[in-house]
Amino acid sequence: MIRKVLSVVLAVLAVVFPFLPLGDRAAFILQIANFTVITAVLSLSWDILARTGQLSLAHAAFYGIGAYSYTILMAHATPWWLAILLSGLIAGLLSLILGAVTLRLQGMYFAIATLAFAEVIKTVIQNLPDAFAGGSTGMLVPALFNGQANAQYYAAVVLLAVTLLVSIWVRNSKMHYAFTAIRQGEQVARVLGVSASRYKLTAFFISSVLAGLAGVLYASKTFFIIPGETFSLSVSVSSLTTAIFGGLYTTLGPVIGSVILTTLEELLRLRIPNGYLVVYGIMLVLTILYLPRGIMGLLERKKS
């Protein structure tokens, strides 16, 4: 019941947000809301892969691949809708290559391999010809929907709705049982007839396509991308901490986590500009220590 109420409240709030009386800071608050929605997409996409028990640090790579693919395709006069679709698909196809090589690895070995992949992609982008990918100085990004803030925000909301539907579909399909079995032990899953490699590659592909599309909306919102920021480790860390904070292996948890953490970070940044990350980090650590199942775990405990 609590989940349904929260889902309805968040959905209604997302749709009517641009029409709320937000005062003089309406543009700034709408921008924060836009990044909150993009963070929710990225975090939920990370959680879909995490349901197989894999701790990926490559999400920054797929996020950045989406951002750079969109920018390069738009620079070559590709229609915007085709550039968006191809950008997500390119991120997904590269994830299959990475997955085929690394999915035999588990635990910290898989995490290190995915982290190395993100660094390799960043280095490759930095060393491509400046005329093609901007080099280490970055690229200007063509504005999506002529830079209209409301249209960009609703595009992010639509992507979040698609991501939620994908998550719900995965949870209600046989993939959910396969992912859970793999997470609890690949050997046991194989004995039960589950093809661990196939299901992990499927999770990797779905997760990476959504992360790439999140990167597209990020790039079109910021109007400028640079390898050092777009492929930053902080992108991967942010997606996993948001999912853990909200509640792992749930559909609503990463969304709630992104709403709380993004809003909290911005409020702390305004109040304590020189030390907000310290306070933010301490609060995050305490929350994870005392709420190991995240906000969703707390809600379920209250319900019981």
Beta-bridged to residue 140, according to DSSP, are 224
Q: β-pairing, 139-140 with 224-225?
A: antiparallel
User: How is residue 249 written in tokens?
Assistant: 């292996």
Per-residue pLDDT of the chain (304 residues; tens, 9 = 90+): 667 788 888 888 888 888 888 777 888 899 999 999 999 999 999 999 999 998 899 999 999 999 999 999 999 989 999 999 999 999 999 999 999 998 788 888 999 999 999 999 999 999 998 888 888 888 999 888 888 999 999 999 999 999 999 999 999 999 999 999 999 888 888 888 889 999 999 999 999 999 999 999 999 988 899 998 899 888 988 898 899 899 999 999 999 999 998 888 888 888 877 777 787 778 778 877 888 788 888 887 766 6
Q: What is the maximum span of the chain, computed from C-alpha positions, in angstroms?
A: 61
* CA 192 – CA 195 distance, rounded (Å): 9
- Contacts of 270-274 spanning 24+ positions with Cβ under 8 A: none
How many other C-beta atoms can be found within 10 angstroms of the C-beta atom of residue 74? 22
Residues 6+ apart with CB under 8 A from 92: 205, 206, 208, 209, 212
Take residue 34 and report the two structure tokens written for it. Answer: 């836009």
- Residues 17, 22, 25, 27, Cα dihedral to 10°: 30
CA dist 169 → 12, 43, 211, 266, 285 (Å): 21, 17, 17, 33, 32
CA distance 190 to 32: 44
Neighbours of 143 (CB within 10 A): 14
Compute the distance between CA of residue 233 and CA of residue 218 in angstroms, rounded to an integer: 16
- Enter the tokens of residue 151: 């249209």
- Calculate the CA 138 to chain-centre distance: 22
Q: What per-residue confidence (pLDDT) applies to 199?
A: 94
Residue 302 has what pLDDT?
A: 65
Instruction: Give me the helices (H) in the chain, please.
Output: 2-16, 26-50, 59-75, 80-102, 107-127, 130-133, 149-171, 174-184, 186-191, 196-222, 227-230, 233-246, 253-271, 276-290, 294-303
Q: Facing residues of 224 across strands? A: 140
